[in-house]
């Protein structure tokens, strides 16, 4: 039997036999209503995630591996409440040696060309000509090779928008391009300031997330959050530049702290300058649009997604794409119909 990817498994009918190599994204020993323990799993590869269950020898099997480990498995596809899951055969669940895989072998990756994203970032930095702002970008994303590598590797989120390797640079470039266009509509916006903050607004996600073996929050990310982490990183970057204008630093700090828009979403202050409000809505536009596109591309069994509580407000999403072209009019039709 050929090995299947998670995406292939999700589209197989109930009763189909499957096998493959995946990463254990989550595991938990639970009990049935009858008090029998079972192993509740989320299995992942680069194509997605699927729920799995091990009904026999759950506690013993759980001792063989931890979250983030790569495993080989075999099982049967089942459907529960309209969603596919895998009934894993306990004896098939075997941890794979570290040497058999790259650290990120099972993590999702941006569908975009990562080398092209890096080139586009450098071109955008080149377009910033005001010396203090250019010096800040160069210090953080050219001189600091470790930070640059992290910026290119980190996800933009764990679940909602661009939740994959390369998601942060993809999201940051999208936000910067939206801001660049806004500057053509509103020429009085400070373009170099806005582009600099668009590139750096989520820089704290390089430390908020772990993304080498498994996508998760770091302890620092859970305790502090990327907005505060990023604000601190940029302040440290500014402090390392001699003669950086204090008023320009204040504008940058306000934009970074206000980019979530409201206290309820993590910003200690609302946007109070044109550049701050422009960045807030540009960031939100890319995040929301990317989220809805991902939901539609995932699809479902009907024209509608399941009820998604993580959207604000919670709702279903219509999954049918608009027709590519308007239907041709009947030859015999008249203007009056």
Tell me the per-residue pLDDT of 253-294, one tens digit each, with 9 for 90 and over: 999 999 988 877 778 999 999 999 999 999 999 999 999 999
- Which spans in the chain are helix H? 6-10, 58-62, 114-126, 131-138, 145-153, 167-185, 191-200, 205-208, 219-223, 226-239, 246-258, 274-298
Q: What is the CATH number of domain 6-100?
A: 2.40.50.140
pLDDT of residue 334: 46
Residue 94 per-residue DSSP state? E
With a CB cutoff of 8 Å and minimum separation 6, the contacts of 94 are 64, 71, 72, 73
In this predicted model, which residue has the larger pLDDT, 139 or 80? Answer: 139
> 209-210 and 216-217 as β-strands: parallel, antiparallel, unpaired?
antiparallel
Domain boundaries, the chain: 6-100, 114-294
> Using 50, 70 and 90 to split pLDDT, how confident is the model at 335?
very low
Give the CATH architecture of domain 114-294: Orthogonal Bundle (1.10)
CATH topology match: 6-100 vs 114-294: no
pTM for the full model? 0.83
Residue 324 scores a pLDDT above 80:
no
């Amino acid at each position: 039997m050929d090995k299947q990817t998670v995406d292939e498994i999700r589209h197989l009918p109930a009763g189909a036999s499957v096998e493959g190599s995946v990463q254990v994204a989550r595991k938990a020993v639970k009990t049935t209503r009858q008090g029998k323990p079972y192993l509740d799993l989320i299995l992942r590869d680069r194509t997605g995630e699927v729920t799995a269950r091990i009904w026999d020898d759950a506690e013993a099997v759980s001792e063989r591996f931890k979250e983030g480990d790569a495993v080989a498995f075999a099982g049967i596809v089942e459907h529960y409440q309209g969603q596919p899951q895998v009934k894993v055969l306990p004896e098939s669940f075997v941890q794979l040696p570290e040497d058999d895989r790259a650290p990120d072998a099972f993590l999702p990756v941006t569908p975009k060309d990562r080398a092209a994203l890096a080139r586009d970032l450098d071109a955008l930095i080149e377009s910033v000509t005001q010396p203090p702002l250019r010096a800040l970008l160069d210090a953080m994303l050219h001189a600091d090779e470790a930070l640059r590598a992290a910026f290119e590797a980190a996800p933009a989120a764990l679940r909602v928008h661009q939740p994959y390797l390369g998601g942060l640079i993809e999201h940051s470039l999208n936000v910067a391009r939206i801001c660049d266009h806004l500057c053509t509509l509103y020429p009085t916006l400070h373009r170099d300031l806005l582009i600099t903050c668009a590139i750096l607004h989520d820089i704290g996600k390089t430390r908020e997330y772990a993304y080498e073996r498994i996508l998760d929050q770091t302890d620092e990310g859970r305790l502090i959050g990327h907005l505060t982490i990023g604000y601190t990183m940029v302040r440290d970057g500014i402090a390392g530049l001699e003669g950086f204008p204090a008023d320009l630093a204040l504008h940058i700090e306000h934009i970074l702290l206000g980019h979530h828009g409201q206290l309820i979403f993590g910003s200690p202050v609302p946007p109070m300058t044109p550049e701050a409000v422009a960045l807030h809505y540009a960031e939100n536009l890319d995040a929301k649009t990317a989220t809805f596109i991902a939901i539609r591309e995932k699809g479902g069994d009907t024209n509608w997604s399941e009820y998604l509580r993580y959207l604000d407000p919670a709702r279903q999403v219509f999954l049918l794409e608009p027709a590519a072209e308007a239907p041709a009019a009947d030859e015999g039709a008249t203007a009056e119909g």
